[in-house]
Amino acid sequence: MMSQRSIRSLVLVAAATGLQSVAGAQAVDRSRAPMLGPPPKVSLPPIITRQLPNGLKLMIVEQHELPVADFVLVVGSGGTVDPSGKPGVANLTSTMLVEGTTTRSSLEIADQIAYLGIGLGTNSNWDASTVSLHTTIAQLDSALALFADVILKPSFPTSEFERIRKNRLTELIQLKDRPTAIANQAYASILYGASHPYGQALIGTEASITGMATSDLVSYYKTHFFPNNSTLIIVGDVSPAQIEKKIAAIFGGWQRGTVPAYTLTNAPKAAGTTVYLIDKPGAAQSSFRIGSIGVPRSTKDYFALTVMNTILGGSFTSRLNQNLRETRGYTYGARSGFDMRRAAGPFTASAEIVAAKTVSGLIEFMKELNAIRTAVPPDELLKAKRYLQLGLPADFETTQQIATVLVPVALYNLPLDYYNNYVQNVEAITQAEVQRVAREYINPSSLAIVIVGDRKSIETGLKAVGTGPISIRDFFGKPVTQ
């Protein structure tokens, strides 16, 4: 087994030839893992870039395996620039794009999506609003006409908004049923506080949704939906020259505008570690969200953090999952991750842990968050690097996958050869760097530990273990007065 692992280490980046050396036809030695040939050469599809005179950037990738294409319009504004006191505006603006245009009603849009057999969806996160289209080439022109209509001519009808508002308010009520959703919501609010955008709810709050009007959405749309604030990603069975012509004809008349600049202040980091306990009486499991404010996507430590997190909680064999699931059986799965945004998003370690093992679970979490700060053994480092490097081609299989992995390239201005250099950038990460970033970004003495669970049965134990003072919070992370 060791010999085979070292062979892998020899070939990793350089592997230029794809010939496999398979064992002969004689009886196989089953007592050891087979020797593997060099990994296939990673040849990622070229990205063709264009820009229309109105500033709309195009990223085109040809993929001719099936007669289909994916389009993703990435508008570079999201929930971060929700108007002050109105969380949810960006999200509802995106939602409303498919609820009526100057030429099509909400029901007509839905009818055409189904009739054409296409996928048309909208979304928004902190940094971007997106409109996605998946279509067969046979329906390309009709599909693009609909796609352009919802992007360029949304009419934000009041009657449709009233329906969406009622629906959203009901969703917020239903959120109280799901401990995992409560934990996510409270964790963000506790980490970032009430004044930072990342502490707000992307989908809005009861108060903000109730107070919102279509004029808020129109205003958001008119302020941010500009071609010069957008990239259109196109992947599929298309000819770049022809599709560029089509897109220029459809989107060429989209008027450019001035996108207001904004700066995000960094939220203050926690001083000391605190356990925030949120009561969900009778909960069968305790939902854990543990962490701190992490890093922006632009961090120089991106690859070191990615490797370090793969070891800590970013894969099935990661330490958190191995310990909490595969060794102790406390949970169905434990993980960690850095949510990297334009500004520093959260680092979070999480799991749903059987109520009776809440305290033991916390002890093991803390053990791993401490242990990752000491040197990682070479074979563990190598496994994580190979997992990231050799798994890369699988992310480039379908048109939809390729479009998805190009979104961060568009949004965060990553170099076009970003994925071509991914393997060597991962390879360059050393044991020392993994340890450095672990020490810099994972600090067990200043963590927010959010636990949603049955307070009656877990509070005493959590106090006794002494990880930090206990603060009782409500579903929104606000202090509960006793």
Task: Kindly identify the residues of this chain, within the stretch 340-379, that bind another protein according to CB under 8 A.
Answer: 352-354
Q: How many CB atoms lie within 10 A of CB 346?
A: 23
Cite the DSSP H helix spans in 332-377.
Answer: 358-371
Q: What are phi and psi of 74, to 5 degrees?
A: -110, 110
Q: Quick check: 476 binds another protein (CB under 8 A)?
A: no
Q: Which stretch binds another protein (CB under 8 A): 23-31, 85-93, 429-437, 468-476?
A: 23-31
User: Which positions from 87 through 106 interact with another protein, judged by CB under 8 A?
Assistant: 106
Q: Quick check: 54 binds another protein (CB under 8 A)?
A: no
Q: Please enumerate, as own/partner, the contacts of 188-195 that have beta carbons within 8 Å and a separation of 24 or more.
A: 188/346, 188/477, 189/476, 189/477, 189/478, 190/276, 190/448, 190/450, 190/473, 190/477, 191/267, 191/270, 191/291, 191/292, 191/293, 191/346, 191/448, 192/267, 192/293, 192/346, 193/267, 193/268
Nearest to 336 by CA among 303, 319, 312: 312
Q: Quick check: 265 binds another protein (CB under 8 A)?
A: no
Rg (CA), the chain: 25
Check if the beta carbon of residue 466 is closer than 8 Å to that of residue 275: no
x-or-dash pattern for another protein, window 136-155, by CB under 8 A?
xxxx----------------
Residue 64: which H helix or E strand, with range? none
Q: Which CB atom, from 137 or from 250, has the smaller least distance to another protein?
A: 137
Least distance to another protein, CB of residue 262, Å: 35
Least distance to another protein, CB of residue 404, Å: 13
Q: Which CB atom, from 82 or from 352, has the smaller least distance to another protein?
A: 352
Q: Which of 331, 348, 350, 358 binds another protein (CB under 8 A)?
A: 331
User: Which positions from 370 through 429 interact with another protein, judged by CB under 8 A?
Assistant: 382-383, 386-387, 389-394, 396-400
Q: Which CB atom, from 20 or from 445, has the smaller least distance to another protein?
A: 20
Q: Quick check: 465 binds another protein (CB under 8 A)?
A: no
Size of the site for another protein (CB under 8 A): 90
Cite the DSSP H helix spans in 394-445.
Answer: 399-411, 422-427, 431-441
Q: Which of 113, 264, 405, 472 binds another protein (CB under 8 A)?
A: 113
Q: Quick check: 30 binds another protein (CB under 8 A)?
A: yes
Q: Which stretch binds another protein (CB under 8 A): 82-90, 276-284, 288-296, 364-372?
A: 276-284
Burial class (CB in 10 A: 0-12, 13-18, 19+), 452: buried
Three-state DSSP class for 360? helix
Q: Quick check: 67 binds another protein (CB under 8 A)?
A: yes
